[in-house]
Structure 1
Amino acid sequence: MASQGFYQRLQQLPPVAQQAFMAALCERLLPNYALYQEATGQGNYAGLRAVLDLVWEHLKVKNAKIDFEKQAEKLAECEPPAADDSFGARRALEAVVALAALLDTLQGEAPGAVLEVSRTSRGGVRAFIELTEGEDDAAALALLVRDHPLMEDENDFQDAVLEAVSQPLERETLKQVQRLGRNDGVSNLGLSLE
């Protein structure tokens, strides 16, 4: 679990640093969406990838003209079907929801978006641990989640991204943050297309 200090630091970041943080987390959620599409034939990974690439372009290129309202419309079309309540669909939806929250900040005020994206990513990890470990006792499950290697990895990852975006965000720093987010194609659930 993240400490209050972590969330406080996140909220105190300038908007562009918050956006870079969210973009890095979205990068790490994308493989879950790709796996869902591969498994079901549903979804539009290329569409999601294109929207996130435009976000990075906006962050790296001064005065890049991007219509984020239009991108938000394209993103909405990438949501898994509402009738699909599978585990994969929920993880795919998290990638869409996180990216939508990021687009909200690029279109104006969305003060809680950075916390929402952070919690969405952790929530997916928690759900995966609950699914794979099958612990019924709530207290035991809470401990299991807290101490699980995947949750430790998620917390370490978010800490590392927070540190990275707390520096002046030059183009090179943003490239490092993007690479960090891509995590060699491994998602927050430890899954990849490989």
Structure 2
Amino acid sequence: MLNKKLNIFQQVRELEGWHAVAFSATLLERMLPNYVLFCEATEFADPAQYRNSLNAIWEWLAVPKAKINFTAQLEKIEELVPDASDFDNYGVFPAIDVAMSMSACILLIQGEDPQGAVVVSKLSQGGVEAFIEASSEGDITDMEIKQHPLMQWEIETQQELLILLSKCPKNSESCKQLKQLATAEGMTNIGLEI
């Protein structure tokens, strides 16, 4: 299992351009409801800006000539990052993962972080791991985390995504397929129903 995890990060590291952004956007699609649920539970912020930013990323993927001001998108996202010390609600951590992933994806588009997709991959897996630890009774071993159904699902989803990306052309139809993959189970990456 550890080899699979390393293998995924290695494969993600090799993604470039459109494929790296598409990988990131698909994982973000699974993670975004965690941010929305956090905002609804705490009245922290209006989560619509994050939906708008992710829609802008999908638009950039579907219509390569689309004119999108990602610098402005990044500023809007960074204004809406919760501070973990302000909340005693576990949901703040998955919400921060979404914010960091969204920033990494935009920086990837702008060419400022060529490893943005790896950042998103690790944040998604790390979020699942943290959720498993937080929701387990007592201590949990690394092996138990790796064998947990949520972690298995996360790894399988990322692997399926890598396979799909190796075959799909850079077009709006591919974007629809990727979104479908992200939302097919009706759950976020940490297993919350959407």
TM value normalised by structure 2: 0.91
Contact 2:8 2:158 in 1 (8 A): no
Residues 53-132 of structure 1: matches in 2 within 5 Å?
Answer: 53-85=55-87, 86-132=89-135
Please, which moves more after superposition, 112-121 or 5-14? 5-14
Matched with 1:157 is 157
Q: Aligned-pair distance for 1:184? A: 4.9
- Structure 2 residue identity aligned to 1:190: G
Change in CA separation of 1:104 and 1:5 when aligned onto 2, cut-off 3 Å:
same
What percent of counterpart residues are identical? 36
Contact 2:38 2:95 in 1 (8 A): yes
Contact 1:35 1:192 in 2 (8 A): no
- Structure 2 residue identity aligned to 1:54: A
Residues 100-138 of structure 1, C-alpha deviation per residue, up to 9 Å, x if partnerless? 0000011123122111110100111111111111332xx
- Structure 1 residue identity aligned to 2:96: L
Contact 2:108 2:115 in 1 (8 A): no
- The count of aligned residue pairs is 190
Gaps of 5+ in 2: none
The reply on whether 1:190 has 2:153 as its aligned counterpart is no
Contact 2:53 2:73 in 1 (8 A): yes
Measured in 1, the distance between the counterparts of 2:159 and 2:135 equals 25
Measured in 2, the distance between the counterparts of 1:130 and 1:151 equals 11
Measured in 1, the distance between the counterparts of 2:36 and 2:57 equals 19
Matched with 1:10 is 12
Measured in 2, the distance between the counterparts of 1:91 and 1:55 equals 20
Q: Aligned-pair distance for 1:94? A: 0.5
37, 40, 54: which one aligns with 2:39: 37
Contact 1:75 1:100 in 2 (8 A): yes
Contact 1:24 1:182 in 2 (8 A): no
Contact 1:135 1:141 in 2 (8 A): no
Contact 1:10 1:114 in 2 (8 A): yes
Q: What is the DSSP-based 3-state SS (H/G/I as helix, E as strand, rest coil) of the residue aligned with 1:121?
A: helix
Residues 46-100 of structure 1, C-alpha deviation per residue, up to 9 Å, x if partnerless? 1100000000000001310001001000111221135325321111010110010
Please, which moves more after superposition, 168-177 or 81-90? 81-90
